[in-house]
């Protein structure tokens, strides 16, 4: 029951596998690796390093540079930044030599293989820069979920081209992988109000905080208001709990910026707040065109803390500067919210799987607040008997909204199907595939998570549906489907 429906899908030769050589640097603090519960040993390590002779320092630093210089962009800058983290432990000593400072930074640096365990769950969108592309071709950006040690996930990118005949190629990635600089982001009062309502917090206290801040404000504005609330908390019984909840929501708002000289395929969105410390999973990217013609790239993803999941919204115009903000509301619970690429009847719309097993449609007037959803597709076939979900944002066609779906069946086999929804009323189902479009075939059954093919979003170009898909978290493949033939099968 997992054979390709009527043989429509063609698997491309283009494929990428997890590369354990793609590494990023991170600050390494001995005694705080995550499995030890003790004081940092940083002070003892600094003391031992300062006691080394100049000869030992030079020899050790030369060894480090020889082994690692070709693996990272600006390795010296990384060492200097990490050395600066130890400035308070130098006890006012005289300025360290260049070599000793570099070695200090290297000692408190480690590598993390972002794809050391797996590479999976891609989504694909039109690249914001189409300059230099051959006539009839489309350059694309593909997001990927990279999984490393401890099953920690990050979001990476690849690029490539779909030509005028619908053939797909994937570019070689940049030689380096780099994380960006985290920065503050503006905060939205509507998100706080909605989440506090869900948690059952006192509305009076929330109004006291946000009534004077306006709809958009900075972290410092919020902190000042919370400090004022704390100083007057004796008459507000829920104040301290509400303050804690507000601060927790605020930590889920941040920005990330990459240097101009980095290539897109070099950039890695790395967990940057507590709610996603165990991973950033399954980004569903899309190119959103608003009613005034403004183009914004959004990506919904799952933040995993190690025990709890929540959903976040990425926003970018150029894939160099990003913001990440919370998605809240009942329809944004669980995983897999996927936005429609434009408003429908003046409202934002999304596919939701808030009940964990059916495909639903949600509407909202605020992009980050999703109050409820209405089911539109329930499991009926054997290959989807365990659960249904979307495989990325709906794709607009003349016939309707084409939604790639995933179904889970016997032996926890994941397959990809398709659904067609009415353009004006996406709660109305026009047709669905009775059998999978793609399922794991020999050569795609074995990997980190066996018996799974899964996508987080495709696109249509040259009358061809292009589906990037993960194979058992071991590799990413590309499949193409003639759009007209697929639509004919769905509606019959």
> Domains of the chain: which residue ranges?
5-18+116-182+253-491, 23-113, 186-250
Q: What is the pLDDT of residue 38?
A: 62
CATH of domain 5-18+116-182+253-491: 2.115.10.20
What is the Cα–Cα distance from 44 to 30, expressed in whole angstroms? 10
Q: What is the pLDDT of residue 487?
A: 96
Q: What is the pLDDT of residue 202?
A: 66
What is the Cα–Cα distance from 453 to 444, expressed in whole angstroms? 8
| 359 membership: H or E segment, kind and range | strand 359-364
Task: Inform me whether the pLDDT recorded for 299 exceeds 60.
Answer: yes
Residue 421: exposure state from Cβ atoms within 10 A (0-12, 13-18, ≥19) = buried
| 313 membership: H or E segment, kind and range | strand 309-316
pTM of the model: 0.94
Q: What is the pLDDT of residue 32?
A: 67
| Predicted confidence (pLDDT) per residue in 204-262, tens digit | 788 888 988 989 999 999 999 999 988 877 767 778 888 999 999 999 999 999 999 99
> Is the CA virtual torsion 269, 273, 277, 282 positive or negative?
negative
Q: What is the pLDDT of residue 36?
A: 54
| Predicted confidence (pLDDT) per residue in 88-122, tens digit | 888 766 688 999 999 999 999 999 999 999 999 99
Task: Inform me whether the pLDDT recorded for 5 exceeds 80.
Answer: no
What is the Cα–Cα distance from 467 to 317, expressed in whole angstroms? 23
Q: What angle do CA 227, 233, 234 make, to 5 degrees?
A: 150
Closest CA to 177 of 265, 116, 109: 265
Closest CA to 372 of 198, 253, 120, 204: 198
Rounded mean pLDDT, 359-382:
95
| Predicted confidence (pLDDT) per residue in 16-64, tens digit | 999 999 999 999 988 766 555 566 788 889 999 999 999 999 999 999 9
What is the Cα–Cα distance from 259 to 132, expressed in whole angstroms? 23
Q: Using an 8 Å Cβ cutoff, are 178 and 262 in contact?
A: yes
Rounded mean pLDDT, 456-479:
96
CB burial of 137-164 (b: ≥16 within 10 Å; e: otherwise) equals bbbbbbbbbbbbeeebbbbbbbbbbbbe
Rounded mean pLDDT, 163-185:
96
Task: Inform me whether the pLDDT recorded for 1 exceeds 60.
Answer: no
pLDDT averaged over every residue in the chain: 92
CA dihedral 239, 245, 246, 249 (to 10 degrees): 180
End-to-end CA gap in the chain: 19
Q: What is the pLDDT of residue 4?
A: 46
Residue 71's pLDDT band, with cuts at 50, 70 and 90, is very high
Residue 3's pLDDT band, with cuts at 50, 70 and 90, is very low
What is the Cα–Cα distance from 155 to 267, expressed in whole angstroms? 9
- The Cβ of residue 94 has, within 10 Å, a number of other Cβ atoms equal to 6
| Predicted confidence (pLDDT) per residue in 405-463, tens digit | 999 999 999 999 999 999 999 999 999 999 999 999 988 888 889 999 999 999 999 99
Helices 203-210/219-231 angle, 10° precision: 130
| 459 membership: H or E segment, kind and range | strand 459-461
Q: What is the pLDDT of residue 285?
A: 98
């Amino acid at each position: 029951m997992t054979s390709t429906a009527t043989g429509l899908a063609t698997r491309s030769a283009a494929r990428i596998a997890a590369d354990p050589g793609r590494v990023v640097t991170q600050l390494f603090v001995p005694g705080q690796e995550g499995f030890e519960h003790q004081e940092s040993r940083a002070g003892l390590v600094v003391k031992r390093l300062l006691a080394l002779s100049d000869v030992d320092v030079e020899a050790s630093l030369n060894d480090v540079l020889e082994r690692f210089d070709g693996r990272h962009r600006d390795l010296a800058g990384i060492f200097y930044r990490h050395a600066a983290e130890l400035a308070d432990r130098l006890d006012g000593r005289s300025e360290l030599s260049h070599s000793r400072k570099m070695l200090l930074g290297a000692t408190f640096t480690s590598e993390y293989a972002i794809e050391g365990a797996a590479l999976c769950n891609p989504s694909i969108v039109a690249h914001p820069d189409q300059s230099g592309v051959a006539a009839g071709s489309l350059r694309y950006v593909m997001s990927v979920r990279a999984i490393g040690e401890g099953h920690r996930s990050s979001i990476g990118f690849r690029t490539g081209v779909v030509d005028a005949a619908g053939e797909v190629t994937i570019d070689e990635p940049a030689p380096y992988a780099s994380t960006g600089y985290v920065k503050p982001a503006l905060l939205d009062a509507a998100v706080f109000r909605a989440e506090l309502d869900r948690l059952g917090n006192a509305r009076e206290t929330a109004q006291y905080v946000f009534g004077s801040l306006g709809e958009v404000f900075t972290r410092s504005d919020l902190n000042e208001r919370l400090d004022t609330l704390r100083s007057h908390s004796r008459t507000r019984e829920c104040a301290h709990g509400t303050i804690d909840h507000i601060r927790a929501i605020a930590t889920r708002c941040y920005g990330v910026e990459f240097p101009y000289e980095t290539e897109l395929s070099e950039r890695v969105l790395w967990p940057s707040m507590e709610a996603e410390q165990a991973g950033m999973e399954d980004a569903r990217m899309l190119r959103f065109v608003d009613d005034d013609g403004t183009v914004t790239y959004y990506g919904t993803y799952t933040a995993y803390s190690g025990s709890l999941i929540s959903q976040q919204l990425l926003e970018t115009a150029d894939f160099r500067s990003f913001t990440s903000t919370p998605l809240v509301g009942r329809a944004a619970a669980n995983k897999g919210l996927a936005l429609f690429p434009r408003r429908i009847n003046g409202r934002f719309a999304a596919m939701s799987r808030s009940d964990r097993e059916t495909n639903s449609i949600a509407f909202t007037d605020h992009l980050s607040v999703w109050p409820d959803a209405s089911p539109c597709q329930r499991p009926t076939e054997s290959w989807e008997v365990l659960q249904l979900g979307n495989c990325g944002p709906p794709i607009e066609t003349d016939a309707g909204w084409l939604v790639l779906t995933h179904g889970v069946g016997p032996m926890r086999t994941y397959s990809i199907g398709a659904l067609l929804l009415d353009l004006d009323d996406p709660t109305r189902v026009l047709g669905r595939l009775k059998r999978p479009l793609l399922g794991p075939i020999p050569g795609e059954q074995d990997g980190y998570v066996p018996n799974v093919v899964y996508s987080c979003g495709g696109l249509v170009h040259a009358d061809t549906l292009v589906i990037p898909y993960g194979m058992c978290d071991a590799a990413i493949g590309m499949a193409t489907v003639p759009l007209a033939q697929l639509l004919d099968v769905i509606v019959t």
